[in-house]
């Protein structure tokens, strides 16, 4: 049914549950997984405290380290389950667009993602990335809650 499942993650607890669910589904149906994390570019004017406290170089290094940690954990979980896994990190202004583009470019036929990730003011201002993926993507999306 599904051959390549895209699992976007931001490393949050809910996203980790979606990663585990996506890997379990892939194992059950014999699919491979592509785990994706998106790095947002550094902005001089922002409400994100991580960017306010860092220089652009510090921010990039910290975000890449965080991405490697997230992707490494997902790859280890897939390997332990016996599921083929590819990992990818993309820098993009709009995470939903990176997810949609990656699904298309990697030939993914299902996206498994958490119902939400960000919290607080950024979630209100930016809206739900999951809703944006659902709105803009032609690939089926399984939302894990």
Helices (DSSP H) in 1-145: which residue ranges? Answer: 13-29, 49-52, 56-81, 95-105, 120-126, 129-136
Q: Which CATH class is domain 7-144?
A: alpha beta
The residue ranges of every structural domain in the chain are 7-144
pLDDT at 124 over 50: no
Q: Which of 48-57, 59-68, 81-90 has the highest mean pLDDT?
A: 81-90
Say what the pLDDT of residue 99 is.
97
Cα(93)–Cα(91) distance, rounded to whole angstroms? 7
Average pLDDT estimate for 1-13: 95
pLDDT at 27 over 50: yes
Question: What is the number of alpha carbons within 13 Å of residue 36 lying toward its C-beta?
Answer: 28
- pLDDT band at residue 46, thresholds of 50, 70 and 90? low
Say what the pLDDT of residue 117 is.
61
What average pLDDT does the chain have? 89
């Amino acid at each position: 049914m599904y051959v390549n499942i895209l699992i976007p993650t931001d490393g949050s607890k809910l996203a980790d549950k979606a990663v585990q669910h996506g890997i379990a589904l892939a194992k059950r149906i014999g699919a491979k997984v592509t785990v994706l994390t998106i790095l947002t570019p550094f902005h001089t004017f922002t409400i994100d405290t991580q960017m306010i406290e860092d220089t652009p170089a510090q921010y990039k290094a910290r975000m890449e380290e965080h991405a490697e940690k997230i992707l490494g954990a997902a790859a280890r979980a897939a390997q332990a389950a016996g599921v083929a896994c590819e990992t990818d990190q993309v820098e993009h202004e709009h995470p939903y667009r990176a997810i949609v583009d990656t699904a298309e470019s990697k030939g993914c036929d299902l996206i498994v993602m958490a119902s939400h990730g960000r919290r607080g003011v950024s979630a209100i201002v930016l809206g739900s990335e999951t809703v944006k993926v659902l709105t803009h993507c032609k690939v089926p999306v399984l939302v894990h809650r």
